[in-house]
C-alpha cells in the first residue's frame, strides 16, 4: 500500500535541477541517461548493473524536450523510499516511463507535474497503477475511479467525444432549421 | 398534427416522387376545372431503397408478427434497446436491462429533439413537423419518409379486418385527408407505395375553392377510397350531403363519440374507424367493441403510474407508455404518452381499455364527491356531439361547450344532471360545426 498524499508531497518537492533540459539536447542540461540508470539501480538494488534495457542515446535524443523533462520528474517520483529496493517493480516502472508517460506528455507541460495539484496526483496515481500498487485506504474500484476522474487521456477522450456530440448536434439543428422551412412528406391522417 | 408553421415549396416533382415518371394523374388532380385552390405541394419522397423498407414493413405486418405474451417482453426488445444504447445519444448511458429503464416525457423530446436521432441515420432523410402545441408547448418532431409512408400499411392492416383493400390504381384517389379549418395547407399528391394512386388534402372551407359548388363536383368526381380526418371535419363533410362512396372513414386526433360514429356510418354507408395515434409514434390502435386494439407489434405498450416509474398490472388504469416504433429519428424507450387507459391481452393482442386522452380530471358534485371525467364522456357518447369543452369553475358550476349541428341542449342538460346531480349549475353553449372553424381536441379543464 502506498499513501497517495505522501507521494504527491514528495513529487512537489522535486529539485529544480530535474526540470532542466536534457544533456542530450542541451549541453548545459542534465544527464538523462545517468538519472535513469541511478533510478533503476536504486529500485532494483543492483548497484553494479549497467544494462537496464534503457533506450539508446539516439532514441532519447529524438524525443520531445517536454517528455525528457517529464521523465526526469518521474525519476524523482520513483526515488521515493517507498520504491527503493523493490526489484519486482523494475519492468513496471520501465513500462511507465517509456510507454505510458509519453502520450500524456503530448498534452501536459512538464512544469504542471509539480505546479498543478491535479497533474501531480495524476502522475502519482498513473505511476502506482502501472506498478499495480493499490493506494492506501482505497479499494481497487475507488482507485480506478479516482484515476479516471483526473486522467488527462480519459479527459481528452471525453472532450473528443463531447466535441463529436456537439458537432452532430449542430448538424442536426442546422438540418432541422432548413427542413422546418420546407415541405416534408405526405401525411395521410390527422394526429 | 399540424404542418410546420409556414413551410415553403422547395422541391421538384422528381424529388417528391423519385420513382414515379408518369405524373399525368397528379396534373389532372391539380388542373381539374373544379379543383380547390391548392396552396402547397407534397410528395412521399420514396426512392427505391426507402420504398423497399416500407414494403418490408408491410410484409412483416401482413405476416401477423406476434405481439407479446402477457407478462413477457417482446422478442425484439433486447436488440432494440441495445441499438438505442449504441447509436442514440439520449440513451447512451442507459442500463442494458429494459426493466430498469426510466420513463421519458414529451418535455425530454421538446428540449433536445436532436439527441434522439440515431447516429446510423442519413441526415438527408430528416423531415420535420412542428406540432401545433394544442396539448402543450409546440414541439419539433423528426421523422423520415419511411416512418411517414408506413402509415398506409398500418392502416391497411386495420382495413383487412373489415375486408377492405385500398386499390392501387394510378387513376384513382386512394386517400383524401379532409379538414374543416380557417386555414391549412392543401395539395394533390401521389403515393409511390400505392403505385401512383392519388392523395388529396382538402379544406372544406369555401374560401379554398373557386366556387363553393366545386367541393361537391370535385370530391364526387374523384370519390376517394378512404377519407381521413377528425370528427369535426367529418361532421362538416356529412353536412354537405355529397354523394361519396368511401370504403372507410378513418377518424383520428380527437375522440370519436359513439353517436357521431353511427351518424357518419349511416351517412357514408361504410365503417368509421376511430384510430388512436400520436405525433411521436404515429398509429397505435383502433377502436373495437372491447377496447382499442393495438395494430403494431413493433410498439411495446405498458401502463405506468401517473406520478412515479411504477408499472401497473394488467387491468389497472394508468398512463400509457410506449417503446419502439420504426422512426430512427425518434426511437422511443418508455415514452409517456400523456394518455390514460388500462391494458388487456385478448388472444395475445393488447387492447387499450377506457382510453382517455390526457390525465383523468376529477370533477366534483355539489356535495363534494368526485366523478371521473371518463364517466361523463361515456354519458355524452350517445349524443350527436362532434367535440366539446367541459370546464368546472371554483364554485363547482359547469360551463359546457358542445360542437353539434343539432338542438340538443336539453339532452346534454339531462345527461350531465344524471351524472353530476340535479343541483349542479350547468351553462351550455352549442356551437355549429362549420367547414371553416378549427376546433381543438375535446377536453376537460378545472379552475
Please indicate, yes or no, whether the overall pTM of this predicted structure exceeds 0.80: no
Strand B332-346 with B349-356, pairing: antiparallel
CA angle (B145, B146, B147) in 5-degree steps: 100
* Domain-located, residue A183: no
Q: Which residues contact B24 (CB under 8 A, 6 or more apart)?
A: none
* Domain-located, residue B5: no
Q: Over the stretch B358-398, which tens digit does the pLDDT of each residue have?
A: 666 778 889 887 777 767 887 887 888 888 889 999 999 99
**Hey, CA dihedral for A91, A92, A95, A101, is it positive or negative?**
negative
| B228–A189 CB contact, under 8 Å | yes
Residues B182 and B166 in one domain: yes
Residues B430 and B387 in one domain: yes
Classify each residue of B96-111 as buried b or exposed e, where b means 16 or more C-beta atoms within 10 Å of its C-beta.
eebeebebbebeebbe
- CATH number, domain of B419, equals 3.30.300
Residues B335 and B380 in one domain: no
* Whole-number Å distance between alpha carbons of B169 and B198: 8
Task: Give the one of A165, A180, A187 whose C-beta lies nearest to B128's C-beta.
Answer: A180
Residues of B within 8 A of A185 (CB-CB) are 42-45, 127, 145, 148-149
Q: Over the stretch B405-424, which tens digit does the pLDDT of each residue have?
A: 888 999 999 999 998 999 99
Residues B288 and B367 in one domain: no
Instruction: Determine the residue among B26, B93, B126 to mutate to test chain A binding: the one whose Cβ has the most chain A Cβ atoms within 10 Å.
Output: B126
Classify each residue of A116-125 as buried b or exposed e, where b means 16 or more C-beta atoms within 10 Å of its C-beta.
eeebbbbbbb
In this structure, the number of other CB atoms found within 10 A of the CB of residue A19 comes to 17
* Domain-located, residue A61: yes
How many domains is chain B partitioned into structurally?
2
Q: What is the pLDDT of residue B213?
A: 97
* Domain-located, residue A174: no
Residues of A within 8 A of B229 (CB-CB) are 189-190
* Domain-located, residue A50: yes
Residues B325 and B366 in one domain: no
| Residue B152 grid coordinates | 398506409
- CATH number, domain of B183, equals 3.40.50.12780
Residues B313 and B177 in one domain: yes
Nearest to B272 by CA among B294, B285, B288, B295: B288
* Whole-number Å distance between alpha carbons of B17 and A81: 78
* Domain-located, residue B170: yes
Residues B351 and B368 in one domain: no
Task: Give the one of B10, B123, B201 whose C-beta lies nearest to A171's C-beta.
Answer: B123
* Whole-number Å distance between alpha carbons of B185 and A8: 70
Task: Give the one of A176, A189, A191 whose C-beta lies nearest to B128's C-beta.
Answer: A176
CA distances from B408 to A57, B402, B413, B414 (A): 101, 9, 9, 10
Residues B262 and B380 in one domain: no
**Residue where a domain terminates, one of B355, B381, B414:** B355
Residues B198 and B273 in one domain: yes
Residues B75 and B177 in one domain: yes
* Domain-located, residue B263: yes
Full domain range(s) for residue A46: 4-151
Residues of A within 8 A of B8 (CB-CB) are 181-183
- pLDDT tens for chain B, residues 1 to 447: 444 446 777 789 999 999 999 999 999 999 999 999 999 999 999 999 999 999 999 999 988 778 998 889 999 999 999 999 999 999 987 888 999 999 999 888 988 899 999 999 999 999 998 775 555 567 889 999 999 999 999 999 999 999 999 999 999 999 999 998 878 899 999 999 999 999 999 999 999 999 999 999 999 999 999 999 988 889 899 999 999 999 999 999 888 888 899 999 999 999 999 999 998 999 999 999 999 999 999 999 999 999 999 999 889 999 999 999 999 999 999 999 999 999 999 999 999 999 976 666 778 889 887 777 767 887 887 888 888 889 999 999 999 998 888 889 999 999 999 989 999 999 999 888 877 666 666 788 888
Residues B309 and B367 in one domain: no
| A190–B228 CB contact, under 8 Å | yes
Full domain range(s) for residue B105: 13-355
Amino acid at each position: 500500500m502506498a499513501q497517495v498524499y505522501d507521494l504527491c508531497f514528495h513529487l512537489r518537492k522535486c529539485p529544480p535541477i530535474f526540470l532542466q533540459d536534457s544533456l542530450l539536447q542541451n549541453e548545459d542540461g542534465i544527464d538523462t541517461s545517468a538519472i535513469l540508470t541511478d533510478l533503476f539501480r536504486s529500485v532494483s538494488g543492483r548497484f553494479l548493473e549497467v544494462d537496464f534495457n534503457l533506450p539508446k542515446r539516439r532514441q532519447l535524443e529524438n524525443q520531445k524536450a517536454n517528455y525528457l523533462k517529464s521523465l526526469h520528474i518521474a525519476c524523482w517520483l520513483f526515488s521515493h523510499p517507498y520504491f527503493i529496493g523493490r526489484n519486482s517493480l523494475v519492468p513496471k516502472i520501465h513500462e511507465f516511463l517509456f510507454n505510458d508517460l509519453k502520450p500524456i506528455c503530448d498534452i501536459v507541460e512538464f512544469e504542471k507535474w509539480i505546479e498543478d495539484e491535479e497533474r501531480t496526483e495524476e502522475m502519482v496515481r498513473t505511476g502506482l497503477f502501472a506498478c499495480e500498487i493499490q493506494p492506501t485506504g482505497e479499494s481497487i474500484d475507488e482507485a480506478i475511479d479516482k484515476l479516471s476522474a483526473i486522467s488527462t487521456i480519459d479527459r481528452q477522450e471525453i472532450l473528443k467525444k463531447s466535441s463529436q456530440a456537439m458537432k452532430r448536434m449542430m448538424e442536426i439543428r442546422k438540418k432541422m432549421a432548413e427542413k422546418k422551412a420546407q415541405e416534408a412528406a405526405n401525411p395521410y391522417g390527422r394526429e | 398534427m399540424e404542418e410546420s408553421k409556414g413551410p415553403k415549396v422547395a422541391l421538384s416533382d422528381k424529388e417528391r416522387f423519385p420513382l414515379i415518371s408518369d405524373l399525368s394523374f397528379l396534373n389532372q388532380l391539380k388542373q381539374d376545372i373544379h379543383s380547390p385552390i391548392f396552396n402547397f405541394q407534397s410528395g412521399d419522397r420514396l426512392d427505391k431503397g426507402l420504398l423497399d423498407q416500407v414494403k418490408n414493413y408491410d410484409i412483416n405486418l401482413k405476416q401477423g408478427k406476434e405481439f407479446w405474451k402477457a407478462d413477457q417482453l417482446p422478442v425484439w426488445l433486447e436488440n432494440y434497446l441495445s441499438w438505442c444504447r449504441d447509436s442514440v445519444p439520449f440513451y447512451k448511458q442507459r442500463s442494458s436491462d429494459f426493466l430498469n429503464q426510466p420513463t421519458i416525457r414529451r418535455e425530454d423530446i421538446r428540449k433536445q429533439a436532436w439527441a434522439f436521432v440515431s447516429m446510423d441515420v442519413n441526415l438527408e432523410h430528416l423531415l420535420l413537423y412542428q406540432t401545433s402545441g394544442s396539448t402543450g408547448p409546440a414541439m419539433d418532431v423528426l421523422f423520415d419518409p419511411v416512418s411517414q409512408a408506413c402509415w398506409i400499411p398500418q392502416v391497411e392492416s386495420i382495413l383487412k379486418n373489415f375486408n377492405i383493400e385500398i386499390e392501387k390504381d394510378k387513376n384513382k384517389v386512394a386517400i383524401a385527408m379532409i379538414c374543416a379549418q380557417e386555414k391549412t395547407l392543401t395539395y394533390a399528391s401521389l403515393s409511390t407505395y400505392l403505385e401512383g394512386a392519388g392523395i388529396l388534402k382538402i379544406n372544406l372551407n369555401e374560401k379554398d375553392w373557386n366556387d363553393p359548388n366545386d367541393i361537391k363536383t370535385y370530391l364526387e368526381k374523384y370519390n376517394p377510397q378512404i377519407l381521413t380526418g377528425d370528427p369535426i371535419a367529418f361532421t362538416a363533410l356529412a353536412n354537405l350531403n355529397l354523394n361519396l362512396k368511401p370504403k372507410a372513414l378513418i377518424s383520428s386526433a380527437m375522440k370519436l363519440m359513439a353517436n357521431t360514429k353511427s351518424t357518419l356510418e349511416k351517412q357514408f354507408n361504410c365503417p368509421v374507424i376511430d384510430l388512436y395515434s400520436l405525433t411521436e409514434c404515429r398509429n397505435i390502435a383502433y377502436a373495437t367493441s372491447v377496447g382499442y386494439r393495438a395494430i403494431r407489434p413493433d410498439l411495446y405498450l405498458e401502463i405506468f403510474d401517473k406520478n412515479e416509474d411504477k408499472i401497473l398490472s394488467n387491468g389497472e388504469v394508468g398512463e400509457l407508455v410506449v417503446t419502439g416504433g420504426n422512426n430512427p429519428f425518434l426511437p422511443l424507450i418508455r415514452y409517456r404518452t400523456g394518455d390514460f387507459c388500462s391494458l388487456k391481452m385478448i388472444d395475445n393482442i393488447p387492447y387499450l381499455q377506457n382510453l382517455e386522452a390526457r390525465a383523468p380530471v376529477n370533477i366534483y358534485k355539489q356535495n363534494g364527491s368526485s366523478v371521473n371525467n371518463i364517466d361523463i364522456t361515456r354519458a355524452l357518447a350517445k349524443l350527436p356531439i362532434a367535440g366539446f369543452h367541459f370546464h368546472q369553475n371554483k364554485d363547482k358550476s359547469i360551463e359546457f361547450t358542445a360542437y353539434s349541428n343539432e338542438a340538443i341542449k336539453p339532452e346534454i342538460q339531462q345527461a350531465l344532471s344524471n351524472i353530476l346531480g340535479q343541483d349542479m349549475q350547468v351553462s351550455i353553449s352549442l356551437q355549429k360545426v362549420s367547414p371553416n372553424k378549427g376546433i381543438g381536441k375535446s377536453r376537460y379543464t378545472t379552475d
